[in-house]
Amino acid sequence: MNFSEHLSGLLAQDRSAPAVQHDGGWFTWGEAADIVGGVDRALTDAGLGAHATVGLVMREVPWTVAGFYALLATRRAALMFSGRLPDAALIGEMTDLRPAAVIAETRDWRREGLVEAARKAGVMGLEITRDPTDPVRLVAGLERPGPGPHHALPEGSAVTILTSGTTGPAKRIPVTYQELDERLARGRRSSGVAINALPLYNMGGIFGLVDAVVRSRPVAIMERFDVRRWAELIREHKPKQTGSPPSVLRMVLEAKIPPEHFASVEFHYSSSAPLDPKLAAEFEARYGVPCFQGWGSTEMKASVTGWSPDDRVAFKTSKAGSCGRPLSGVKLRIVDPETAAPCAAGVDGRIEVWRADFPDEDHWMTTNDLGRIDEDGFLWVKGRLDDVIIRGGLKVDPKDVEDALATHPDVVEAAVVGIPDERLVEAPAAAVVTRDKALDPQALTAWLRERLPPYKVPVLITRVEEIPRNAMMKIDRKTLRAMLQPASPQ
């Protein structure tokens, strides 16, 4: 049985069986099957059968999850668009890529200019209505695909996953049906409800849906992340393991969520950004839940490091802050970013990853991440090479400055970026969230001068109410630069 056949079996089960929990209610497999059937009939009638590339404006709601299931159950290729895009950006992506058809909710088809842009691009439109008596309609004027040419993903593609775009334009990484079939073969059925609090158009969210299907589990989703709702879902469904970006742990602490919400949780797994050991220790002290982190990327389509049960016991304290060791079938090496020469244990450099399914002939993938591997094989990730600030020829790693700021008793969180400097080309600037709203940024500057070399001290420290983040809750450094540059010294 392949992944699509397994998913079709779930869709054919008891119509009242719960599929997706959303906004306090349940969307059933029967409701999902009605959308799947409507999408399949409309696309088939238009000549868009298996392997056809179809756009999907994805939102964190059950109706577009069913649209996604419709494409996967019928072996079509899903070209993902984020429902969070502004109107002009969504129109631009759709007209640039020109899929033969696009599936979207009614509210998205009502965006100004979208239907007209789709008509000019020759895009067929399918509307998901939320009306159980008529769940899928053809968009007026977009009943058939135009003459093309239309965008086509490589044969065998199941879905494209969008990277987070924190440092540059988001990229589309294809996932194949072979990979989904292999995921099904390795998986096993399990009970309970999968809690998916991540955006459903990139890696964490998409694989959360895929793995829920693999395990034949319903999934709980949130249209907008709310830390209190997330904690309520944990209390309701009582998982043994939870996962999130590190920023969620800080949100839980700041919101003073009662510890009983996490009574079932044996450990928390953090990903997508470095986990501050101080934050992990604070969370464990309050909730009794040890925190560990792994490392991977959208391009790798999975985590490549993690913590085995034995390592969680033996190295919990001594390796706090590490991303664990390579998973089975993975090799890591650190190389000099400029010469590509191998680095010794404990020396910072560019991280490279080997896995047998990576496409290059030697199966090594070069990343843009900076880190080191210690003598026990544990990976320590410092940040991204493209975040490194070159100040008059001297390299400033933002994480070094962020870590120094984080040790100040009044600093809750800090983020550092490079801003233009007329004399030095680039200089570090920092945004900080502080407990004491009257804290003088100049006092922080003086405090840093006692702890960092002069070239690493920011030329500007600005207090903010919150650090800007993207949908994956990573620091949005592009937005942060835009915030800090107008205030930068001339």
Q: What are the structural domains of the chain?
A: 3-183 (3.40.50.980), 245-292 (no CATH), 294-386 (2.30.38.10), 388-487 (3.30.300.30)
CA distances from 210 to 3, 214, 389 (A): 9, 6, 38
Q: What is the pLDDT of residue 453?
A: 87
pLDDT band at 489 (very low <50, low <70, confident <90, very high): very low
Which pLDDT score is estimated for 168? 46
Number of alpha helices (DSSP H) and beta strands (DSSP E) in the chain:
15, 26
Tell me, what's the pLDDT at 486?
Answer: 58
Chain mean pLDDT for the chain: 91
Q: What is the C-alpha separation between 337 and 263, in angstroms, rounded?
A: 44
Q: Which of 153, 10, 110 is nearest to 70 (CA)?
A: 10
Distance CA 216, CA 211 (A): 8
pLDDT of residue 167: 44
Measured distance CA(416)–CA(434) in Å, rounded: 15
Q: What is the pLDDT of residues 434-488, one digit of tens each?
A: 988 888 889 999 999 999 988 999 999 999 999 998 877 888 888 999 999 855 4
Per-residue pLDDT tens for 368-386?
A: 889 999 999 999 998 788 7
Q: Distance between CA 299 and CA 303 in Å, rounded?
A: 10
pLDDT at 426 over 50: yes
pLDDT given for residue 113 in this prediction: 95
pLDDT band at 105 (very low <50, low <70, confident <90, very high): very high
pLDDT one-digit tens code per residue, 167-207: 445 678 889 999 999 999 998 888 899 999 888 888 888 99
Q: Answer yes or no: are the C-beta atoms of 230 and 248 closer than 8 Å.
A: yes
The average pLDDT across 4-22 equals: 96
CB under 8 Å to 396, separation ≥6 — which residues?
Answer: 388, 389, 390, 418, 428, 455, 456
Encode pLDDT of 311-367 as tens digits: 999 999 999 999 999 999 999 999 999 899 999 999 999 999 999 988 888 999 999
* pLDDT (0 to 100) of residue 78: 96
Over residues 237-265, the pLDDT tens digits come to 999 999 988 889 989 999 999 999 999 99
- pTM (2 d.p.): 0.82
Q: Give 54-71 pLDDT, tens digit per residue.
A: 999 999 999 999 999 999
Could you say which DSSP state residue 114 is in?
H
| DSSP three-state, residue 112 | coil
pLDDT > 90 fraction of the chain, expressed in percent and rounded:
71
Tell me which H or E stretch contains 402: helix 398-406
